[in-house]
Amino acid sequence: MTEPVLSVRDLRVEFATRRGILKAIDGISFDIAEGEVLGVVGESGAGKSVTGSAVIGLIEPPGRIAGGEIRLAGERIDNLSPQAMRHIRGKRIGMIFQDPLTSLNPLYRVGDQLTETIRTHLDLSPRQARERAIELLAEVGIPAPEKRIDGYPHEFSGGMRQRVVIALALCAEPDLVIADEPTTALDVSVQAQIIALIKRLCAERGTAVMLVTHDMGVIAETADRVAVMYAGRIAEIGPVADVVKHPLHPYARGLMGAIPSLETDADRLVQIPGAMPRLSAIPPGCAFNPRCDRTFARCRLDRPEPIVPAAPADAGHRVACHLYDSAEAEALP
């Protein structure tokens, strides 16, 4: 079996505050293989972006990685020095941020930002770096790249700026790309173009992608597998077709039920009551139990661990729910 590009085991991220330690990530594990897109979905506050920041080494004080391991192609990286992580960021791990306006410097031409990044990680002359930048702009779909390379970020549309950010993330041919809400600020038609671009580049380059989003539609279109996060833990993880069509965890079922369907007529969509708990008020047992309509006594006492359910039999499909690990509970309908 080939080694995954990214392997995360029992990752824990904490933030020290005057009111005590807040556990933003509380023991999550997952892998991403070469050429695979793992979608990470959940409400705001679930821990999606913090997970991506931990992988790329951008957790700053008062935050810290409190436990677990992060391995990139078998090499442990969570315990590296800040200087060592700077050599990995950009070269082996690329990042696509949500808002391209905040990740592109408005005072510098697009070409200058690309060539600087390229020359930082690759041994190329200024001329070779510029040629490489033009090739990247063409690859991500920027028209007339030899002219647009000398433009400033404000001279590009939102979708074109996001394409430039994708080119920046790919310029050193990284093993892993973390895409943090890459389509949120874009209209629907441009979203579809960016999704198709990420899928194509992933397939052609064999790059592993961690796609963070709120949008289950984006997940269904783009990802090979999906991890549903809730209150700093993974509630369910598995092949995207299984999780989208036959979600097991009540939270995943609620997320899917809240999406309008073109196949059936429904007067009302599913609504998950309540809100994501604050980090300072995570309930005991299953964190989702105050909002769950299938809660029983054990849910309020014991925290469920991810298990392989009896059905489906796919060993890669895991769910953290006592409904699949207790004789007390009835099977889901």
49-103 pLDDT, tens digit per residue, is 999 999 999 999 999 999 999 999 999 999 999 899 988 998 899 998 877 778 8
Residue 295 lies in a domain: no
For residue 214, count CB atoms less than 10 angstroms from its CB and return exposed for 0-12, middle for 13-18, buried for 19 or more: middle
The helix/strand/coil state of 226 is: strand
Question: What is the rounded average pLDDT of the residues 229-238?
Answer: 96
Helices (H), 5-44: none
Check residue 298 and give its pLDDT: 92
**Per-residue pLDDT for 324 more than 90?**
no
Check residue 170 and give its pLDDT: 87
Check residue 107 and give its pLDDT: 93
Residue 110 lies in a domain: no
What CATH code is carried by the domain that includes residue 223? 3.40.50.300
Residue 63 vs residue 195, higher pLDDT: 63
Residue 31 lies in a domain: yes
Name the average pLDDT for the chain.
88
Residue 80 lies in a domain: yes
* pLDDT > 90: percent of the chain: 58
- Using 50, 70 and 90 to split pLDDT, how confident is the model at 333? very low
Pairing of strands 6-17, 20-32: antiparallel
Residue 318 lies in a domain: no
125-182 pLDDT, tens digit per residue, is 999 999 999 999 998 889 999 999 999 999 998 888 988 998 898 888 899 999 998 8
Q: Structurally, how many domains does the chain consist of?
A: 1
Residue 103 lies in a domain: no
Check residue 218 and give its pLDDT: 84
Q: Rounded distance, CA 163 to CA 156, Å?
A: 10
Question: What is the rounded average pLDDT of the residues 10-24?
Answer: 94
Helices (H), 46-93: 48-56, 82-88
Look up the domain containing 226 and give its range.
6-92+172-235
List, in order, residues 6 or more apart from 137 with CB less than 8 Å away. 110, 114, 145, 148, 149, 163, 164, 167
Check residue 332 and give its pLDDT: 44
The pTM (predicted TM-score) of the whole model is: 0.89
Residue 148 lies in a domain: no
Residue 67 lies in a domain: yes
